[in-house]
Structure 1
Amino acid sequence: MRRNRIKGVVKKLFLIGTSLVGIMFILIAVSIYLWQNTDEGRLPAKTAVVLHAINNNLVPLDLDISVPKIVSGGSSGGGNPLLREDLYIPVQDANVQIPIRIYRPQGEGPFPIVMYYHGGAFLEGFGDINTHDNITRQLAARTNSVVIAVGYRLAPEHIFPAAIEDSYAAILWAEENADTFNGDIERISVAGDSAGGNIATVMTILSRDREGPEITAQVLMYPLTTFQDIPLESRDIYDSGYYLLSRSVMYRARDQYTPEEIMWLSPYTSPLQADDLSGLPPALVITAEFDPLRDEGEAYAKRLAEFDVQVQATRYRGVMHGFISLYEVMQTGQYGLQEVSAFIRQANQDSLHITTPYQLQVRQPPQGFDRVREQTESFAIAAYLLGRTGVNLFTR
């Protein structure tokens, strides 16, 4: 009799537990479904979860989310441990010094050099060499290159052309001091994201105009390419800031970095409208579907091609501005980082194979096993967030 009673209690507890698990599963599934449906289009589950977490301040922007290792999207890049060095270098006739961070492989080299320019709207407090450390470290490991992150001066204290002059001075410094870090001055590339993408391509124009170092390749990740007022559909559609870049920030950047309208006309701020883009190095231009800067990045890629510059352009569907920085939790970020690394390696080996005439490639969201992994991670992250926020999880 007592044994039957115990069995009955166990059965009830099992049913209660099963019901709670079912309710939790439904809660997570409904939450993700709600986040996926936006006025601008339906988002993949992982993008929706990540954006919800960031925009509701549930996790810091670096997404330090604890998820099971079995579903972790990051990878170390492998290879030998890197050497790191933080320095200050002179700019502006040696009257000013700016910080740089060097990651380089071990060994004698000489290794190719990649000058990296961080994003952050050209503004103090929005980005620096620390906020983009994960990208620069990975690029060094994945391309077997010396990567130099440049801490150019920022607005509002330092307006255009301070950031440009600092960035170019860093290239000249790297060329003059390559022997100290086993760098190869015959293979210098530039790379950057967002505002840094603007600076990276401007470096190729400036180096051409000043007969400076010959740049091997340029990698532009969701770059800002114009400060001028021209119709750009993506700027209108994705201007709310929900996709990690807002119209208000873009206007603030323009007002503080280029406070005089005449500055907007310069090819060194608005390369999209530059009169001459000939003679520039091969370019990789990466854009994101849900990004206010999407259209101008793609327009710039097309315009480079019109000047017979080799261009590889890829739009990644289902992701937002800055997605490559989130490669540790987003598989599409991994795809982007892989494309960037492969492009730099091929450029250094003089083995780029770029299809002509110009064609924009559209990369679909993860499929197959990667899609299953993304869905699993989305549930794991949503469960983590639910444990922290409860019913507030439903709000966008």
Structure 2
Amino acid sequence: MMKRRGFIRRFIFVTSFLSALSVAIVSMTLFIWQQTDEGRLPAKTAVVLHAINNNLVSLDINIRPPKIVTGESGSPSLLREDITIPVQGGSQIPARIYRPSGDGPHPIVIYYHGGAFLEGFGDLDTHNNIIRSLASRTNSIVIAPSYRVAPEYVFPTATEDSYSTLLWAQDNAASLKGDPSKISVAGDSAGGNLATVVSMMSRDRNGPSIASQVLLYPLTTFQDIPLASREAYDSGYYLLSRSVMYKARDSYTPDEWMWNHSYTSPLQADNLEDLPPALIVTAEFDPLRDEGEQYATRLHEAGVPVKATRYRGVMHGFVSFYEVMQSGRDGLQEASVFLRQVNNETLRIRDEYALQVKEPPKGFDKVRDHTEAFAIAAYLLGKSGADFLIVE
């Protein structure tokens, strides 16, 4: 009996020691991942970036330890349809539609996915979660075109495809049970560029009236102008590198005159008046941060109602990771609330403009994010071994 008790005590001691050691290793590893030359990252940002940059997961961030990532609850049923849309030159482009059930008429959002205007950098599948979630959260019809990209198709093909989608949406609103008087445009990164450019094109061509524009960390200039965020965060660690930006410019706008065009570089456009109300979301650790915020200032100066929010502690593309990042959920929720207010005619934007800064999660959300980050770090370490301890 005494030997059995001694064995149990030793077993409990060894188990407790190994558990404590594991916790210490994971905690130390997570702390190391949080340290960067640009400052200390929030735990969730650090673990997501480490996973992606070390090719542990793809950009659709499919890291889902049990009980960590929860899907949306209470979502209304959505109908999905993959179609083609006619564009200039007699061509057709693929598009994806999510729309609520019911008679409507429902508001319409045209969503332009990001991807640096380049083949292989973004498509409807990589952005499907945002497209679907916007439809659910705003009770809107979301139409997402797969516009043609470089290097096969250069400017202005993407812009013309995007504008053709707007015209198609207006012409087919009734058959979709949509409201042609409530069409908004939205997009992220390169898609944010297209969303605001389509707004300009529709103004210039006396096209459909656009209710609002939602721009998530948009590219707003192809010109070489001094931007501190491009200098600080262009390594690629924050999911967008200077080399990709140059490749996008060389491929999508191969002639220098294209860099100066209003429909590629809206930040330098001569006329930004009479554009729809705008929400611009930027990320602290993003080379596109400053140009997005400068564009918000220029829109305000042109008399366009604009709201701009910088999310601290996150990187380019963070809204795409809303399923694992609280800040991503907050950004998606802000966009959804903005669109709902536009559609309900309750949007109020103060005359005076000021950039809003959204701090990283605090209180319970911070504890939850850190706990989930710890669990994901443990999951990744267990999955791939001690090589993760090496930080390049």
Q: TM-score, normalised by structure 2?
A: 0.98
Q: Measure the CA separation in 1 of the matches of 2:298 and 2:47.
A: 35
Give, as a single letter, the amino acid of the residue that structure 2 aligns with 1:295: D
Q: Which residue of structure 2 aligns with residue 192 of structure 1? A: 187
Pick aligned residue for 2:236 from 221, 241, 247: 241
1:84 aligns with 2:80: yes
Q: Measure the CA separation in 2 of the matches of 1:302 and 1:102.
A: 33
Q: CA RMSD in A?
A: 0.9
Give, as a single letter, the amino acid of the residue that structure 2 aligns with 1:11: R
1:207 aligns with 2:202: yes
- Superposed CA offset, 1:177-215 (max 9, x none): 111111110000000000000000001100000000010
1:368 aligns with 2:366: no
Displacement of 1:389 after TM fit? 2.2
Q: Which residue of structure 2 aligns with residue 323 of structure 1? A: 318
Q: Which residue of structure 1 aligns with residue 31 of structure 2? A: 33
Displacement of 1:50 after TM fit? 0.6
Contact 1:188 1:214 (C-alpha < 8 Å) held by counterparts: yes
Q: Which residue of structure 1 aligns with residue 227 of structure 2? A: 232
Q: Measure the CA separation in 2 of the matches of 1:375 and 1:193.
A: 27
Displacement of 1:77 after TM fit? 5.4
Q: Measure the CA separation in 1 of the matches of 2:159 and 2:174.
A: 25
Q: Measure the CA separation in 1 of the matches of 2:172 and 2:356.
A: 38
Contact 1:139 1:147 (C-alpha < 8 Å) held by counterparts: yes
Q: Which residue of structure 2 aligns with residue 136 of structure 1? A: 131
Q: Which residue of structure 1 aligns with residue 8 of structure 2? A: 10
Matched ranges for 1:104-183 at <5 A:
104-183=99-178
Runs of at least 5 residues in structure 2 that lack an aligned partner in the other structure: none
Contact 1:77 1:138 (C-alpha < 8 Å) held by counterparts: no
Change (3 A) 1:285 1:321: same
Matched ranges for 1:51-70 at <5 A:
51-69=49-67
Q: Which residue of structure 1 aligns with residue 265 of structure 2? A: 270
Runs of at least 5 residues in structure 1 that lack an aligned partner in the other structure: none
Matched ranges for 1:295-374 at <5 A:
295-374=290-369
SS of the aligned residue for 2:211 comes to strand
- How many positions carry a matched residue from both structures? 391
- Superposed CA offset, 1:129-172 (max 9, x none): 11111001000000000000011000000000000000000110
SS of the aligned residue for 2:174 comes to helix
Structure 1 segments, 4+ long, off by >6 Å, are none
Displacement of 1:75 after TM fit? 3.6
Displacement of 1:329 after TM fit? 0.4
Displacement of 1:78 after TM fit? 2.6
Q: Which residue of structure 1 aligns with residue 215 of structure 2? A: 220
Q: Which residue of structure 2 aligns with residue 22 of structure 1? A: 20
Change (3 A) 1:77 1:184: farther
Q: TM-score, normalised by structure 1?
A: 0.97
Q: Which residue of structure 2 aligns with residue 47 of structure 1? A: 45
Displacement of 1:395 after TM fit? 2.2
Q: Which residue of structure 2 aligns with residue 96 of structure 1? A: 91
Q: Measure the CA separation in 2 of the matches of 1:101 and 1:315.
A: 29
